Structure 1
């Protein structure tokens, strides 16, 4: 064992004391003590510094440990809050025996009605409330847990209210280092709603499949790539394939190449937007090769996360409907051609709404509207407002088949002008709705011609009335003049006839014939015609020149001509009236005699 520092100092002092005197020995001893003191002070200072540094480090460690404990406590509190707020209950239990619960999160009360302490205090609470029908299966699942180390399964568990709820139990086995079971940790989750939804969904799927089998439409489902993953049995009726032959293929595999390219472009645009579509017509090839026209409708299948999973849809065979529609279109085209070839305008009006539903080209030209404009019009738009009441009455009478033709109906054009038409109509019923077909024959020109004829007739009638008045006045004037002329002539003739007794009788007979001819003339004859219908002498005056007519009228005794007034003023009779002429006048002033050109009064 090595000597200490003090022992070494003592030995040095002893050795030196033999050589030096005591005073020196004391001085040397003091120096050695001083050196030793300094060394001790240095050592104390170093140890003090080391202790202070250790204290600082210890303080830091204690502060860090305290902070860590606080953080751990906060984390535990947050974890506890998180566990209690989750819709799941976390537990720990023994891995043997009755699986007694050692820990249970507080939120278990929300879906079981039991507090966490109830599970810890009553060891068999969990197992004895499992549904009897599920108990054996749960026991078997526990065996799987010990075999695999973890397991998850669902079962029915009776809550505090006596209702069974579906519980999803996820378990994990914790083992010792030697591999023997230590304890189990697990989570309970109430899946009653999702389980009920699953059951309802399963029932709905079954109902759907039943409906899919009963419906006349082909029901299908495709995935996001456009491949059939489900096909109803009706595909056999439509295309001749079995559902197994369809699944795994795309809709475009059953179309002609050109049709597949057309529909694929349309469907690509629809699928990119993930939107529903309806009534997409497409041509498919039947298994035997003939073409089938289908009408496709579908809705997108989107998950809760918004991910697109494909489409669910239906196909309907519309081949017969399309053929019927084509035939109807052809018939309509023929009907339209016939309508447009008609010279008269044709309109079809809805009786209930009085709206125009069909028009031909002629009526469009008559009214000045385009076909598109016509279909926006009603009865009140094509007739003047002041005539609308009359038009509606005629419309109703035609619907009741009281009349067939409504004549001279006023019709209003687009520019506001009015023309007239005879409207022939016939009621009909289409799809249970009454309509009235009207044929418009423009009678404007006829009405104008009738108006012109009426005006001409009025003018002619006025002229006839005026001429009749003139003729009546002339007739009265002629009768008056004839009477005067006859008096003069008779007066001149009587004297002559007295001198010639044989001529009296002849003259009397001639004048009697002349008078009878004058009395039977028609009343409507003009003066000139009346004169021409008298004796031959008057007709001779008509054809003679004026000078000769004057003498002839005087000699023949015709006083119908206006110039006969000259006979009274001293015409061809040289002598004044005689007594015989006065006698003749009294016998009959209208009886005429015939004289020769050389007779005198």
Structure 2
């Protein structure tokens, strides 16, 4: 053994890490296990020596097979790290973290297995209870302090007893040798310092393990005799160091986290678990520090904290009031805008129930416990709230439930839309006035067209037959336009005209204009519910007037059962209109593009105005097909 045998012996007794050495034979029988196993697991070393399977028998059923496989594969893997549950002597499962390594002979043959085991139950719980980290940390430090103080007293008595038992010295030396192997091979960094009891801040490094050398870049001969403070740097927390110094001065165990630096200057976060133990040299004591690299975890914590600060900034910059609410309606947080909107200071708003922000008659609308099915989700609801001074105002609220730890919370965005509601009412009033004015305009246009139609009717009294027919055609055209305006001022909408009812009225007017007594014309209609705006309804009405009038006047000289058919439908935004008859058909030399009459010219011009297509067929009567895109 080296000159550090005594510190290793004390480390064996005081460390919170169980060290063990076992054979590579079947079931891996134990050759050695550190005495602190009884304190940590409740079983004495002798119980483990007497029953090889005790360790494996106490494994949690869900972890058992995986741990066995890991040991069996050590011939291939040489080492492994595993976390598992172990049933201690109190029949309670605790979490352990094992680091296991295969020891081989010089020719590479497996010789034995060494391992270390540390109780990580607290860490496991901490992962599940991150939001209660500060409270748990204080509790764990207090428990750890009491445990280590009690352990020190107990171990001091054990040391006195062992010193009297010379017959056990050889076995103790063997244990220390195994302990040295275990410490040298564990992944955590181990630093042992020797200090004067009366001047504990003047510490000198007595030992570092291989993990320390590999991680920091410092070799053992570079650090022996130095103070561990050379690992500190510009960003190492002076506050933490002062607390650390106070614990050392009072000879108290301590666990903390701070920033250290590697040999190449790279900073790293370390979790330090340190405690003192007596030295064989009078007036001196040793300190053992277990250092674990927690850089990645700290980065995650820092990023999370920065994210929380960033989201708080976003929240405070919002023009909406933002609340965090418990399921019973208690406000747990809010932004500045919420305080401004409702007139309460933040300290008064926190802890208030949201019912207090509602007018009295609306308070019963909020359930005692808010469930997810009463949140708005992606929608927004209108709600009336009441400020501190009693002023009521209309809001638009959006809520969503989320999980924080084990508790459901609601985030609510509240926007004051009082000004918007006033503007909407002003717009509605203005729109109503404009609708009334527009209805009056359409009514007057219709009346003026009726006057013009009446004047044309008066001119027919003293005109010849040819002039009368032309006047009748003009009168029909004017009437077709008047009908559009009549439809408009009678409709709830001033933009769209239903063509079905319009066509019915147009047929009745033309039938009355061109008296067909004794020569009944049958009307067939296949009309879908199609509506047009006024810019398309007037040219479409004039086209229908021309086609129907021409059919009445020219199509049925010798037809026994005259029929006029109209079909109207809309497909993919296109209006399709067809007017056909079963009369004598069009003249053989008829060309739709040639100006043969005023009516034909008018039809072609109106179709162009609609940006439509016109097709004409003359087979067992005349067929006019018109298609155009409806205005959206």
Shorter-chain TM-score tier: 0.3 to 0.5
Query: Under a length normalisation based on structure 1, what TM-score does the superposition of the two structures give?
Result: 0.41
Which of the two has greater helix per residue? 1
Computing the radius of gyration over CA atoms, which structure comes out larger, 1 or 2?
1
TM-score, length of structure 2 as denominator length: 0.39
Q: Which has the higher strand share?
A: 2
